[in-house]
Structure 1
Amino acid sequence: MEHYDIIVIGGGSGGLAVAERAAPHGARVAVFDPKPLGGTCVNEGCVPKKLTWYAAEHMGQARQAGEFAVDVDIRGIRYGELAERRQKLLGNLNDFWAGHLEKLGVTHIAERARLNGSDRVISESGAEYRADRIVLAMGGAPVVPPLEGAELGATSDDFFQWTELPESIAVIGAGYIGLEMAGMLRSMGVKTDVVAMEDRVLEMFDPAISAALDQHMEHQGIGRHLGVKVAGLGGEPGAVTVQLEGGQELGPFEQVLWAVGRKPATADMGLEEAGVELARDGTTPVDEWQATNVEGIYALGDIIGKAPLTPVAIAAGRRLAEHWYAPENDPVPVDYEQIPTVTFTHPTAGMVGLTEPEAVERHGDSVRVYETSFGGLDRAFAEGEVPPVVMKLVCAGNDEKVVGIHMIGPHVDEMLQGFAVAVRMGATKRDLDLTIPLHPTSAEELVTLKQGRPGRAEGLAEAA
Structure 2
Amino acid sequence: MQERKVEVAIIGAGSAGLSAWRAAREHSDKVVVIDAGPLGTTCARVGCMPSKLLIAAADAAHRAQHAGAFGIDVQGVRIDGRRVMQRVKSERDRFVGFVLEDMDRSIEDENLLCGRARFVADGVLRVQGPGLDVQVQAERIVIATGSRPDAPAAWRSALGERLIVNDDVFDWTDLPASVAVIGTGVLGQEIAQALHRLGVRVRLLGRGAGVGPLTDPALAALAGELFDAALPLHREAELLDLARDGDGVSLHWRTPGGEHRERFDFLLAATGRRANIDVLGLENTSLPLDAHGTPRFDPLTLQVEGAPVFIAGDANRDRPLLHEAADEGRIAGGNAGRWPALEQGLRRTPLTIAFCEPQIAIAGQSHTALRAAHTAFATGAVSFVDQGRSRVMGVNAGALHVYATPDSRRLLGAEMLGPAAEHIGHLLAWSVQRGETVDTALEQPFYHPVIEEGLRTALRDLRRKLDTATPCEGCTPGD
TM-score category, normalised to shorter length: 0.7 to 0.9
Report the Cα distance in structure 2 between the residues aligned to 1:369 and 1:109, rounded to whole angstroms.
52
1:462: which partner in 2? none
Distance 1:163 1:209 in 2: 37
Shift of 1:374: 2.1
Match of 1:320 among 332, 342, 351: 332
Residues in 2 aligned to 1:166 and 1:229: alpha-carbon distance in whole angstroms:
25
User: Is the 1:150–1:232 contact (alpha carbons within 8 Å) kept by the matching residues of 2?
Assistant: no
1:399 counterpart SS class: coil
- Other structure's SS at 1:126 match: strand
Partner of 1:230: 239
Q: Distance in 2 between matches of 1:51 and 1:320?
A: 31
2:18 matches 1:9: no
Separation in 2, partners of 1:442, 1:410: 7
Counterpart residue number, 1:182: 192
SS in 1 for 2:164: coil
Identity of aligned residues (%): 25
1:258 offset after TM fit, Å? 0.5
CA separation of 1:374 and 1:86: change in aligned 2, threshold 3 A: closer
Q: Alignment RMSD, CA only? A: 2.7
Whole-angstrom distance in 2 between the partners of 1:264 and 1:396: 36
TM-score of the aligned structures, taking structure 1 as reference length: 0.88
Judge which range, 354-363 or 128-137, deviates more.
354-363
Letter paired with 2:286: G
Q: Kindly indicate whether residue 400 of structure 2 is the aligned counterpart of residue 391 of structure 1.
A: yes
> Are residue 130 (structure 1) and residue 159 (structure 2) matched?
no
Distance 2:112 2:218 in 1: 46
Letter in 2 for 1:200: G
Distance 1:439 1:16 in 2: 42
Secondary structure of 2:173's partner?
A: coil
Q: Could you tell me how far apart the structure 2 residues matched to 1:99 and 1:318 are? A: 20
- d(CA) in 1 for partners of 2:377 and 2:407? 9
Residue identity opposite 2:118 in structure 1: R
> What amino acid is the match of 1:445?
G
How many residues of Structure 1 are paired with residues of Structure 2 in the alignment? 449
Tell me, yes or no, if structure 1 residue 40 matches structure 2 residue 51: no
| Distance change >3 Å, CA 325–CA 129, structure 1 → 2 | closer
Match of 2:285 among 245, 269, 274: 274
Aligned position for 1:461: none
Amino acid at match of 2:142: V
Q: Which residue of 2 aligns with 1:108?
A: 112
Q: How does 1:19-38 map to 2 (within 5 A)?
A: 19-38=21-40
Give the direction of change, closer, same or farther, for the CA distance of 1:241–1:426 in structure 2 (3 Å limit): same
Measure, in 1, the Cα distance between the counterparts of 2:60 and 2:26. 41
Offset from partner CA, 1:222-258 (integer Å, 9 cap, x none): 2222223324412415442223479944312222110
1:199 paired to 2:209: yes
SS at match of 1:36: coil
Deviates further, 51-60 or 89-98: 89-98
Q: TM-score, normalised by structure 2?
A: 0.85
Q: 1:118 aligns with which of 114, 122, 129?
A: 122
> 1:250 aligned to 246, 255, 261, which one?
261
Aligned partner letter, 1:59: A
| 1:22-62 deviations in Å (ceiling 9; x for gaps) | 33554332222222323221111111111111111222222
Q: Which residue of 1 aligns with 2:477?
A: none
User: 2:154 is paired with a residue of what secondary structure?
Assistant: coil
Match of 1:154 in 2: 164
**5+ residue gaps in structure 2?**
475-479
CA shift in 2, pair 1:56/1:297, >3 Å: same
Whole-Å separation in 2 of the counterparts to 1:237 and 1:416: 45
Give yes or no for the alignment of 1:367 onto 2:367: no
Deviates more, 1:206-215 or 1:181-190: 206-215
Q: Which of 7-16 and 123-132 deviates more?
A: 123-132
Distance in 1, matches of 2:344 and 2:432, equals 18
User: Which shifted more, 136-145 or 348-357?
Assistant: 348-357
- Inter-CA distance 249–283: structure 2 relative to 1 (3 Å threshold): farther
Whether the aligned pair in 2 keeps the contact of 1:118 and 1:294 (CA below 8 Å) is: no
| Residue 209 (str. 1) matches residue 216 (str. 2) | no
Q: Which runs of 5+ in 1 are unaligned?
A: 458-464
Find the residue that maps to 1:448 and give its secondary structure: helix
Distance 1:262 1:105, change over 3 A: closer
Mean Cα deviation higher: 235-244 or 108-117: 235-244
Alignment of 1:265-304 (within 5 A): 265-287=276-298, 288-293=300-305, 295-304=307-316
Q: Could you report, residue by residue, the CA deviation over 1:47-81 in whole angstroms, capped at 9, with x for unpaired residues?
A: 11111111112222223333333443453333323
- The SS at the match of 1:87 is helix
| Alignment deviations for residues 120-148 of structure 1 (CA, whole Å, 9 cap, x no partner) | 21112432122222111111111111435
More displaced 10-residue stretch of structure 1: 417-426 or 223-232: 223-232
Which residue identity lines up with residue 295 of structure 1 in the other structure?
A: A
Report how far residue 413 of structure 1 moved. 0.8
CA contact (8 A) 1:174 1:195 kept: yes
